[in-house]
């Protein structure tokens, strides 16, 4: 089935995901390993990774948002959900929701980073 065209207000994909973190250096190390690249922006007040034109940001200012579950989960496209879960677990993540087939050729999972932020993973479908 072809994808429906989205209008000006339609969601097109993840543009930015910003995680509040208590330890910016540890978070930077975790995500640099998870995404196989160094940040393009690295300051004491924010670290940003460009992942194929999308932003993964780390914000050490936890005065308004605390790290951990309870917020929205951003789902990142991956090639292999099970392999990504395994890899993130090896570098300090914790599987919250194991990989599962959710229909339509989609596989999804959630892994918490070392700070409790939920990281959604998705693969398959008609991408």
> What CATH number does residue 97 fall under?
3.10.180.10
Residue 43 lies in a domain: yes
Residue 9 lies in a domain: no
- Token representation of residue 67: 């790290």
Residue 114 lies in a domain: yes
The whole-angstrom separation of Cα 68 and Cα 116 is 4
Residue 93 lies in a domain: yes
User: Is 58 within 8 Å of 23 (Cβ atoms)?
Assistant: no
Write the CA distances from 14 to 44, 52, 87, 91, integer angstroms. Answer: 24, 11, 21, 23
**Domain count within the chain:** 1
The model's pLDDT over 31-45, given as tens digits with 9 standing for 90+, comes to 999 999 999 999 999
User: Is 114 within 8 Å of 98 (Cβ atoms)?
Assistant: no
The model's pLDDT over 29-81, given as tens digits with 9 standing for 90+, comes to 999 999 999 999 999 999 999 998 888 889 898 887 788 866 557 888 888 88
Residue 2 lies in a domain: no
- Give the per-residue pLDDT at 39: 98
Residue 118 lies in a domain: yes
Average pLDDT, the chain: 83
> Over 70: is that where the pLDDT of 1 sits?
no
């Amino acid at each position: 089935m072809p994808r429906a065209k989205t209008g000006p207000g339609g969601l097109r994909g993840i543009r930015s995901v910003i995680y509040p973190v208590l330890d910016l250096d540890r978070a930077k190390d975790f995500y640099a390993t998870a995404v196989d690249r160094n940040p393009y922006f690295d300051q004491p007040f924010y670290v940003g990774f460009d992942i194929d034109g999308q932003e993964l940001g780390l914000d050490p200012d936890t005065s308004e948002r605390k790290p951990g579950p309870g917020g929205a989960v951003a789902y990142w496209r991956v090639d292999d959900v099970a392999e990504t879960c395994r890899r993130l677990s090896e570098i300090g993540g914790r599987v919250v929701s194991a990989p599962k087939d959710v229909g339509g050729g989609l596989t999804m999972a959630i892994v918490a980073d070392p700070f409790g932020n939920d990281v959604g993973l998705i693969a398959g479908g008609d991408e």
